[in-house]
Amino acid sequence: MCSGPAETGKTVASILKLHAICEAVPGSQMVMARKTFSSLVGSCVMTYKRVVQPEMRGIVAYGGEKPERFIYRNGSQIWLAGLDNPGRVLSSERDGIYVNQAEELVIDDWETLLTRVTGRGAVVANPQLWGDCNPGGSMHWIRKRQSLRMIVTTHHDNPSLYTESGELTPQGVKSMAALDALTGVRRLRLKDGIWATAEGAVYDMFNPQIHVVERGEREMKRWFLAMDIGYDNPAVILLIGEDGDGRHHCFKEFYQRGVLPTDLITKAEEWFSEYHCEFAAVDEAAAGMIADMRTRGINAHGAKGGVLFGIGQVQDRLKTMGDGRPRYTVNPSCLNHINEFESYVWKPEKDMPVKKNDHSMDAYRYLLDYLHENGEAGPITALYDSRRSQIISGRFDRTCAG
């Protein structure tokens, strides 16, 4: 496993390895994989085309804009696979499998891939499963797997960022400035290369291996918007679907600073109309915004619940049920929402969270508050005293407010 922060050259190195094997060993059958096929096409395949330039080498992309495989003149092939729908790509033995962004996989995914590189019928000398990853949570399975060789990369390994003498290139200045601007757990992981979960996280039960998944729109029976107003702070819109079992899934996020209220309403109106949403939940303090949204045909409502009460409801939804599934999941594309789940922390020795990394957290809390007001969210198990912002039955339990 090639592990390191963003832009250390991990993906390029793995792609060049795939390409080199295909050219050197005629008839080799390789696989380029990622957790979902759509994310593979939108990232790794584009990098392959840029680095290898297949059309210049007589390599045929079979399948058009979203190819199924790349076919070499000597009979070698690179098959493309998403673990969400592996199909025949991973139904038989392969000579080698490369997994991009392997931190997105669960251990079962990785071990299933291992069964496809046993060497049976291989044309290469050493069939292999390898991957690259950005650091994830401190308890991620990749860190615990003793049989997995870890190769740690740094930004100095990327010749497009640093010269051989250790000086930043023009591209390096831009890239490192962008990484320096990151905050919280994303900075620790993507800039510093540290496997970390924010200390004192409010939602310490949030686990990307469980809560970050892709779901189909057709599974949903109802749609909502969850919003947080901001200008200097990010303005947020979350598109939330609810399935027949009452489980919620966040499909899309709008997360941007410096957005005028009219522009935010326009984006909300677009999603509200496209998905036939029932309502948009907003902080009740934004009365003017709510009125403006209603004039544009958006059924907007203010939420009244307290912070701790809302946190309890979110924690309740993050718990896994009897079937091992939680009641709230997030699409992998909602990076800011995921980041806030892992960066939203408690004030030291106090039963209130730090007012930071909470914009999408507040948005989803408003949705649950409004549903609860209308008798739809289901009770949380703790009693809540809004006057004192404490749990009546005792000290607020940070480990499980629900």
Q: What is the pLDDT of residue 204?
A: 87
Structural fold of domain 208-391 = Nucleotidyltransferase; domain 5 (3.30.420)
Distance between CA atoms of 129 and 143, rounded to whole angstroms?
16
- Statement: residue 377 has pLDDT above 90: no
Secondary element (H or E) of residue 239: strand 235-243
Question: Could you tell me which residues are beta bridge partners of residue 31?
Answer: 79, 97
The confidence score (pLDDT) of residue 395 equals 38
Higher pLDDT, 374 or 199: 374
Quote the pLDDT of residue 118: 93
Residue 90: predicted pLDDT: 84
Nearest to 378 by CA among 322, 319, 324: 319
The number of beta carbons lying within 10 Å of the beta carbon of residue 300 is 23
Strand partners, 97: 31, 129
Q: Strand 2-3 vs strand 128-133: parallel, antiparallel, or unpaired?
A: parallel
Quick one: pLDDT at residue 293?
A: 97
Give the per-residue pLDDT at 258: 87
- The b-or-e profile of 311-341 (16+ CB within 10 A means b, else e) is bbbbbbbbeeeeeeebbbbbbbbbebbbbbb
Mean pLDDT of 212-238: 94
pLDDT computed for residue 165 by the predictor: 93
CATH of domain 2-151: 3.40.50.300
pLDDT of residue 198: 74
Indicate if the pLDDT at residue 295 is higher than 60. Answer: yes
Q: Is residue 306 classed exposed, middle or buried when 0-12, 13-18 and 19+ CB atoms within 10 A define those classes? A: middle
Show me where the domains of the chain are located: 2-151, 208-391
Would you place residue 156 in the very low, low, confident or very high pLDDT band (cuts 50, 70, 90)?
A: very high
Model confidence pLDDT, tens digit, residues 69-117: 999 999 999 999 998 888 777 888 999 999 999 988 888 889 999 999 9
pLDDT greater than 50 at residue 297: yes
Q: What is the pLDDT of residues 335-363, one digit of tens each?
A: 889 888 988 889 987 789 999 889 999 99
Closest CA to 359 of 231, 221, 223, 167: 231
Mean pLDDT of the 153-166 span: 94
Rounded average pLDDT over 41-53? 92
pLDDT at 202 over 70: yes
Q: pTM above the 0.75 mark? A: no
pLDDT tier at 402 (50, 70, 90 boundaries)? very low
Between 95-99, 149-153, 275-279, 306-310, the lowest mean confidence (pLDDT) is in 306-310
* Residue 394 clears pLDDT 70, i.e. is over it: no
What local confidence, expressed as pLDDT, does residue 393 receive? 37
Residue among 10, 142, 7, 15 nearest 80 (CA):
15
Cβ pair 153, 14 in contact under 8 A: no
What interhelical angle do 359-373 and 307-318 show, nearest 10?
Answer: 90
End-to-end Cα, the chain, rounded Å:
37
Return the pLDDT at 343: 84
Backbone phi and psi for residue 58, each to the nearest 5 degrees, phi listed first: 75, 20
